[in-house]
Amino acid sequence: MEKWVILSFVFALFVSGAKSAKFTFTNRCKYTVWAGTLNNADKPRLAQTGFQLDTGASQTVEAPAGWGGRMWGRTRCTTDASGKFTCVTGDCGLQIPCNGAGAAPPATLVEFTLGTGGTKDFYDTSLVDGFNLPFSITPQGGAGDCRVSGCPADMIAVCPSELRLTAPDGSTAGCKSACVAFGTEEYCCRGAYGTPDKCKPTKYSMMFKNACPLAYSYAYDDASSTFTCTGANYLLTFCP
């Protein structure tokens, strides 16, 4: 058999076992949300890194097998006379596509590591950087546990004053995590608190956990916050 035929056969086997995943973003909020996506450093950038979703709108983004990264929503975004695009929460630059920039906290994040060739996807919702809007992950199809995850609660309504992000109009736009608000080693799980046995839940992380028990509330909140599914697509809903 010719060398190029063998290589083509191997490549075909690889491709047949590597299924891409579709992420369908749906906005059920009573206001416009701008979605953002960011790939992990060793993974490819998705074709769409940011887009507008009016109330009731949906948009699908495809990710290759093995992809990893995070997704979020941006709120209270405006474009000024010079064309500068900014958001009060989840900002990622001066335009609608995020183009490799992450979300400015506070932001509710959903995080994915997709499997390859029949291995598990891992996914979670993180409030480690705070909260800006309710968000849920619903697997569609797939095999395994495949549980719905997310933070459907309105954390802004219960956010203490010391964690609030105030918008220009004086209203509360988001709820910071204690790490973002205070920056201490204890709240950020670093330095002397940089291991699971040293970094424990605090009154602030427990506030997030009590409201959203399936979401990460601090850096080492793994046991009840990471979920798996194999071969699924995912519905990502703002304000579920």
| Pairwise CA distance, residues 69 & 56, whole Å | 25
**Quick one: CA dihedral 110, 179, 181, 216, positive or negative?**
positive
Total-model pTM: 0.90
| Pairwise CA distance, residues 124 & 118, whole Å | 19
Q: Is residue 4 part of a domain?
A: no
Structural domains of the chain, count = 1
Q: Is residue 199 part of a domain?
A: yes
Q: Is residue 36 part of a domain?
A: yes
Q: Is residue 11 part of a domain?
A: no
pLDDT at residue 143, as a whole number: 94
Using 50 as the pLDDT threshold, list the residues of the chain that sit under it: 1-16
Q: Is residue 201 part of a domain?
A: yes
pLDDT at residue 19, as a whole number: 76
| Pairwise CA distance, residues 89 & 103, whole Å | 8
Q: Does residue 201 contact residue 179 with C-beta atoms inside 8 Å?
A: no
pLDDT at residue 18, as a whole number: 60
pLDDT at residue 231, as a whole number: 94
Question: Domain span at residue 223?
Answer: 19-238
Q: Is residue 5 part of a domain?
A: no
Chain position carrying tokens 């105030």: 166
| Pairwise CA distance, residues 22 & 3, whole Å | 35
pLDDT at residue 14, as a whole number: 41
Query: Could you tell me how far CA 17 lies from the centroid of its own chain?
Result: 26
| Pairwise CA distance, residues 200 & 177, whole Å | 14
pLDDT at residue 124, as a whole number: 96
- Residue 20, classed as helix, strand or coil, is coil
pLDDT at residue 24, as a whole number: 98
Which CATH number characterizes residue 174's domain? 2.60.110.10
pLDDT at residue 11, as a whole number: 39
Q: Is residue 13 part of a domain?
A: no
| Pairwise CA distance, residues 193 & 186, whole Å | 6
Q: Is residue 7 part of a domain?
A: no
Burial class from Cβ neighbours inside 10 Å (0-12, 13-18, 19+) for residue 119 reads middle
